[in-house]
Amino acid sequence: MKITYFGHSAFRIETGSSVILIDPFLNGNPHFEGDVGEATKGVTHIAISHGHADHVGDAIEIAKETGCQVVANYEIYTWLGQKGVETAAFAGTGGTVAFDDFSVTLTQAFHSSSYTEEDGRIVYLGMPNGLVFHFKDGPTLYHMGDTDIFSDMALIEELHQPKLAMVPVGDRFTMGGAVAAVACRRYFNFDKIIPIHWGTMPILDPSPDKFKAAMEGEAGKVLVPAIGEAFEV
């Protein structure tokens, strides 16, 4: 399985015959300096954790251009349909959507979910979610979305046993590095952890250093991939 990190919370995952984008915030993402066309080449699926613009990102344009399948909560699914996306599927929190190479389950997250339209209207887009991916040819992956720590993370570990995690650490909009480390060490048995949602806005922590420091003896689990460069898991 091949993974590429585009900065913020955006990823590309290549597994089997599937190419998945998670929270595809590319245009306007200060960490992404690549070519959008190349980053989205061959995409078959998009998964969206919640409705904020820095997570929906370019999903509408990508879905219209490629016809890829988009997975999100019901409110985002409905809103995407109003924007002309005809290839979306929905699940509720706790629900699973299965495909040939993988499945994705929506978990809870402690955040908010809305989109500010061009005319300034704020559209409510349902509960925020985390995303758990079970793959046929790779480790179970938990993309936390934007969230604070919560004790029911223990149930996510019990139900899914994720080994690879994408964890927000930038503070202000999500948990900061120290709290994120508590979440990872107390509730999970991850093999590798990719810190996300840092450094892309002035009010976020500029690096994942606080998270790595707080992981202490487990800092070896922290992986900070080069942005735009694929790696294998």
Tens of pLDDT, residue by residue over 187-233, are 999 999 999 999 999 999 999 999 999 999 999 999 999 999 999 99
- Domains of the chain: residue spans and CATH: 2-232 (3.60.15.10)
Tens of pLDDT, residues 133-170: 999 999 999 999 999 999 999 999 999 999 999 999 99
Residue 196, both tokens: 């996300």
Tell me the pLDDT band of 34, cut-offs 50, 70 and 90: very high
Taking Cα atoms as reference points, which of 167, 45, 23 lies closest to residue 103? 45
Integer CA distances (angstroms), 109 to 67, 90, 131, in order: 28, 17, 9
Question: What is the value of pTM for the model shown?
Answer: 0.98
Task: For residue 45, name the pLDDT band (cuts at 50, 70, 90).
Answer: very high
